[in-house]
Structures are given as structure tokens and as C-alpha cells.
Structure 1
Amino acid sequence: MNLNKLALGAMLALTALLPLPTRAADTITVTDITGRQVQVKAPVEKVILGEGRQTYFVAALDTDDPFRRVVGWRDDFEKADLDGYRDYLAKYPQIAKLPKFGGFKEGTFDVEQAVSLKPDVILLNIEAKTATDDAKLIEKLAKINIPVVFVDFREKPFENTDPSMRLIGKLFGKEARAEEFIAFRNQQINLVAERLAKANPAKPVVMMERAGGYSDDCCMSFGNENFGKFVEIAGGQNLAARIIPGTFGVVNPEQIIAANPDHVIVTGSNWELYVPGGAWVGVGSGADKAKAREKLKNLMKRPAFTGVKAVRDNQVHAIWHQFYNSPYQFVAIQAMAKWLHPELFKDLEPEQTMKTLYERFLPVPYRTGYWVSLKDKD
């Protein structure tokens, strides 16, 4: 027997048992949402999430194992979306042990802790830019070769969601997956936009209340961006568009009464860890719809809404607040379009769209509960 052939066979058998080599990281230059050019070794292997809710887009790209790159994150996911957090915790219990950070805006981000984790990149939302500039944190981190990249799904989501997903796809080596998500997102938005453009129906006036019941104040709302823009794309007229100059602001009760909106839409989530037992509407994954409707009904007893057309006609709705800070905005647009133009969109099924999003792009099971309406019976 040829000993050389035996040795070669043994070597081949051993090689087959060894793990395949991972793709070597190359230094690439990316342009983030602020226009900064940043050098990053990619595909990145260690990531710090500047916001825990960035899980929403990380999971859409690293669906097989969304936390395999995450070495630390901000402590907001559990607090801001308790139901969603529990969904991920049930499948990935290790996330309970991930190092947690405070926020850049609050000045509680621990730079020394970040350095100890040796991340390849820190992903920050664009709203943290002013705070990081003031503290010169980006320059400090750059000196120890930790790049910072900004993304945006909140301030200008219709301008920045697609490029943000492409940017993260490039960093993760998931460009094709990012394009698949972008194509799905745009297809679902176009189902609404194209039909509205053709039919050109009258636009009902909509009062968007941001986080209604979170505090006693009335009423936080949205200007011409974020949920305010969702209203426009869904075929409505945003009551606060001429009142609030930017993305976020406040509408006085007198202004709501005077505008007499046709619809009221309140954003909500499970904020039990922020405001225990609060008046907020706990819509989200697996929400108790009957309880959510009851809380929504109680919110309409405040002076700002008593007697307005939307309340008289039972055209009052609540929707998951976190649509405002994730790449899933298209589902909210479909739900809103169906509320505002039920006949035009009678064949549109936003519930199915949300379910398809989960089945195609997310690793946890879908549970209904992301929106409710006072006119619903279920």
C-alpha cells in the first residue's frame, strides 16, 4: 500500500473536519449618513450598538444570529420595547448578559468600557451627533482606532433608511441581504403611494399624538417628518405640519380642537419599565388589544379631544411607537392608509405585510398586537 497516498488521504479527511476560513477583513472607506468618510475593517466582527433598538435592523441582516457581532449596546431596548425585547430574550438568552451603555446624548456613555470591548465599529443614531461633537468623542475614539458610523431611521427616515441599510450591509458583508430588504420595503410603500396617486382622494386631517399617556402633558406630535410624513404618504393631512417646524414638537389642546381632526392616531408601546402603570397604550408584539383599546378610549377623554370629529366618529387609533425608529415604517404606512381610506385599500392587509416581514427577515416569531382602533371588534 502506498504510504504517501495514505498520508494524503488522512490530511484531506482532517482538512474536511476543520472550519472554513472566515472572510478576511479589509479596510474599506464608507460614507455615513452625516457625510463623514470613515475607514473600517470589514466585515466587522465586533459591534457596539449605540441604541439597543438597532436590533431592529441588525436582525434583518444577521437573521441567522443577530447578536453574533454585538459586544455591547445601549440599555434602551428592554425599557422602550419590553414586549419586543422579551421576544428576542426568549430565543437569545445571552443578550441579558451583554454589556450595557448609557446614551451619548445624556453624557453617560462609558468610553473606557467601550475600549475594553475592542469593537470594530460603534453604530450611532444621528441624533447623538451633537453630543458626540461637543464632547469630541469621535476624535478620542479615532485615536485608539475605534471608528464611529452614524445611521438614521428617525430624523429623516424616507431620506436615510435605504442608505443606512446599505451602509450597514456593507459593514456586515451583507450587501445582497440589505438590497433584498430595501426592495421589499419600497415595494410595500409603493402599493400605497401609487394607488393614492392614481385615485387622488380627499385627504382627511390627522392628529398624530406621540407617546400619548406617557406623561400628563398634551400633546407631543410630529412635524413634517417621521410619523408626520407617514400620514402624508398614507393619504392624510398632518395637523401639526404647519405648527411644528421640525420633526418633533408640541401641539396645544386649543389647536387640536380648532383643527377638529378626522382621525387621531396615538403612538404607544409597553413602557412599564419607564412609567409603571402609566396611561400609555401598550401596543406591540403580543399586546392585549382589549386593554390597549380601553386605555386609548380613556386618553380621548382629555380636554384636547373631547367632542372632536375623530372621537365622535370613533376614528381613533393606536400604533406601535417603534415604527418611528426602525426600518419597518412601511407597515405603519399601510395600516394608516387603510384607516384613512378604507374603501380604496379594502384589499390591503397590513397584518399580512407585518407577518411577511417577520417570516422573511426576522428570527423571532410574529405575534399580533402592533396597532388597534376603537372601531375594531376583535
Structure 2
Amino acid sequence: MRRRDLLTLGATGLAAPALGSSAAAVDMLGQAVVLTRPPRRILLAEASDLIPLALAHEDPLALIAGWSAAERLGGNGLLQALQSRHPEAAAIPWVGGMAADSFSLERALDLRPDLVVLTAYQEPGLADGPLTRAFRRAGAAVVFSTAPGDGDADHARRLRLFGAIAGRPDRAEAFLSFSAARRAEIGAALQGATPTSVFVHFYADPGAPCCMTTGLPRWQRFLRATGGIAVPPLSSLAQIAVSPEDILLVQPEVVVAARTLIPPADRASADSFALASLRQRPGLQGLHAVARQRLHGVWAGLGEQPIDLLLIAAMAHWLHPSRIPAALPGELLTVLRRDFIAVPLEGRFWSDLHG
């Protein structure tokens, strides 16, 4: 695969559409919410929804009246980078943490949002839940960016929701077209490749026990898209405990350590995901893949966002390095930063044992 074939340029020269007409935003519950104008004071129940909002709007921070669940921004890694580049982000009020019972409805209502973006986790009652009813009584529109049991969210649909919210469906469609083209090119490059066996070590953060994996549908989709096959074979459970003995028995060709936290960008690249210490864990220490330096780290949050193309590109190279160039994920990230997303994406989102 030639890298220049994968890097068709993106959303340059987009013209803002005329405002003033009403638009319907269909959320992840299938609810259609009519917006008479783009909202000006958005409350994000989970701060990670900043990413699709920043893909859909050129100045997302100006729209955010408040947010919660900073942990969803890579354990503050993305938030710290954002606040260092955009001091106004530090002034956005917080109304709670990741725990659903930490969400302060009183503080949220005091912010007088005109649109509230909830998640199925933060409001398990969904459209009839107490948070939803309270915000609607206060005159705010309510949409949901996730649905119950959303193990493989439709990122295209989610991004289109934010495109409608921001009044910029053109920006959303531009990124979706870019992403779809790059995925197709990766798929073509992997056509006919022998599947590579891989152990996805989920929750691979420092101090976490060894070894968990995941059967979430999105990770099974990532493996299919990157020419991989999970070992041991996965069930559909979100969290699966695997004994060190079982990992040693199956001897995967590649190990992908998925972390929930984003290491700071200035960490030494050779150990940015603590891979040197991770390789010493029981179950990993005796793997041929680790001895051959086919142990890699990635931010698991990439798989929960419309920018999961970056995860696919990284995994495709790790599993099939002769077909997918090592530089591809970084080049795609460069295009994403330059042409599509309106907030800084800083930090190391993936790493290799050797660098």
C-alpha cells in the first residue's frame, strides 16, 4: 500500500450553511429532536462527547456551558492538553464525575443549557428518566449520544447527530467520507492476508491485574477489519478474565495492550505505555510475541469515538506490517488534526515495545 493513496485530503474549504431554518437531530435512541436554531449552551453529560462535537463544529468550546465525567477524556490526558492550549476550557464548569450518582442536577440547571447531551449510563431512565424530565421542564432539548448496551456504537450515526446539533452536517459528512475511504483502502491492502492471532489485553493500565480481555462487538469488528483473530476465542462479554496459563498455552502472534488512560505526549516514547514493565507480567513474560517485540499499546478510548480509524490503522500495521506501513497511523492523525478536528489531540495514542 502506498501511503499517498491513503491520505486524500479532507475538510478544507467547507462553507458554513445558512442558519435560521429548523433541523431534526436523530439521537442514538432514535428520537427526533427539532432544533429551531443551533444551540448556544450545550451541557455534555460525558466530556468525551467533545470529540464528535469538535469534528462537527469549528469552535466547540464556545458552545459548551458545562460538562461532567472528565475520566472519559483519557483519564484527564486529553483534558490537560486541551486546557494548556485553550485556557478557556479550564473555565467550563463541571457538574459531576464518571459515577452516575455524582451528577449534580442543581448545578447543571443553574447553567441554563439550551441542549443537554445525555448518555444511557448517566441517565438509565432514558427518555422518561428524572434527568431528562427535569431538563425538559426547564426548557432544554435533550438528546442521547449512547443507547443501552451500546457495545458497538454506530459512530457514523453519532457523528451525524452532532453535525445536526452544530448546524454543520457538511463537516460531519466530510470526515465520514474521509474515514470510509481510508478504511476501504486498508481493507483492500489486507485482502487475502492470513489472519494473525492476537490477544487484546484490556484494562492494561499500570497496577491493573493480569489479564483481562474483552468480547465487546466493536473489538470483534476491529479484529475483522485488521485481519486478526482473537485468542483465546472471545465470548460476547465486555470483560473476560483470562488466566496466565491460558495465554501461554495459545501463544498469540501479537499482543495489544488497551489502556484507559492516555500517557502525556512528553513521556519517553520507548515506555510511553509502560510496555517494558507490562512485558514482565505473568502470562505475558513467556510469550514468543513479547520476545519478538510484537507487544503494542493503544488508548482504548479510540475505539469509542468516530476517530476509531486511528485504532484500525495502528492494529492493521501491527498485525500485518508487510502490508500496512508503520507511518500510516501517524499520518492519518496529522490529517485529522489539520483538516477535521477543532481541538488539539495531544498525547500518545499508541506505542510499540521498541519505541
Shorter-chain TM-score range: 0.7 to 0.9
Contact residue 272 and residue 351 of structure 2 kept, 8 A:
yes
Q: Which amino acid aligns with 2:315?
A: M
Contact residue 19 and residue 37 of structure 2 kept, 8 A:
no
From 223, 244, 253, the equivalent of 2:215 is 223
Aligned residue in 2 for 1:68: 62
Mark the CA change 1:37 to 1:187 in structure 2 (over 3 Å): closer, same or farther.
same
Mark the CA change 1:134 to 1:149 in structure 2 (over 3 Å): closer, same or farther.
closer
When normalised by structure 2's length, the TM-score is 0.84
Matched, 1:47 2:42: yes
Q: Which amino acid aligns with 1:244?
A: S
Distance in 1 of aligned mates of 2:148 and 2:287: 29
SS in 2 for 1:226: helix
Aligned residue in 2 for 1:15: none
Contact residue 34 and residue 126 of structure 1 kept, 8 A:
no
Distance in 1 of aligned mates of 2:172 and 2:73: 28
Matched, 1:144 2:124: no
RMSD of aligned alpha carbons: 2.9
Equivalent residue runs for 1:78-93 within 5 Å: 80-93=74-87
Distance in 1 of aligned mates of 2:67 and 2:134: 19
When normalised by structure 1's length, the TM-score is 0.79
More displaced 10-residue stretch of structure 1: 133-142 or 353-362: 133-142
From 350, 359, 369, the equivalent of 2:338 is 359
Mark the CA change 1:102 to 1:371 in structure 2 (over 3 Å): closer, same or farther.
same
From 203, 210, 213, the equivalent of 2:205 is 213
More displaced 10-residue stretch of structure 1: 218-227 or 282-291: 282-291
Contact residue 270 and residue 352 of structure 2 kept, 8 A:
no
Gaps of 5+ in 2: 1-17
Matched, 1:122 2:116: yes
Shift of 1:105: 5.0
Mark the CA change 1:263 to 1:179 in structure 2 (over 3 Å): closer, same or farther.
same
Q: Which amino acid aligns with 2:197?
A: V
Contact residue 231 and residue 238 of structure 1 kept, 8 A:
yes
Contact residue 154 and residue 325 of structure 1 kept, 8 A:
no
Work out which structure has the larger RCO, using CA pairs closer than 8 Å and 6 or more positions apart in sequence: 2
SS in 1 for 2:325: coil
> As a proportion of its length, which structure holds more helix?
1
From 186, 189, 193, the equivalent of 1:195 is 189
Distance in 2 of aligned mates of 1:268 and 1:290: 16
Contact residue 265 and residue 317 of structure 1 kept, 8 A:
yes
Mark the CA change 1:147 to 1:364 in structure 2 (over 3 Å): closer, same or farther.
closer
Distance in 2 of aligned mates of 1:41 and 1:249: 46
SS in 1 for 2:100: coil
Structure whose CA Rg is larger? 1
Aligned residue in 2 for 1:58: 53
Matched, 1:37 2:32: yes
Distance in 2 of aligned mates of 1:206 and 1:252: 15
Per-residue CA deviations over 1:244-290 (Å, capped at 9, x if unaligned) read: 31344433333322322111111236x5xxxxxxxxxx546444312
Matched, 1:234 2:226: yes
Per-residue CA deviations over 1:93-120 (Å, capped at 9, x if unaligned) read: 0111211022575212111222221212
Distance in 2 of aligned mates of 1:43 and 1:32: 15
From 312, 321, 332, the equivalent of 2:300 is 321
Contact residue 358 and residue 366 of structure 1 kept, 8 A:
yes
From 168, 193, 198, the equivalent of 1:174 is 168
| Alignment: residue pair count | 338
Distance in 2 of aligned mates of 1:345 and 1:79: 28
Equivalent residue runs for 1:241-320 within 5 Å: 242-268=233-259, 271=261, 283=263, 285-292=265-272, 295-320=274-299
Q: Which amino acid aligns with 2:176?
A: I
More displaced 10-residue stretch of structure 1: 224-233 or 126-135: 126-135
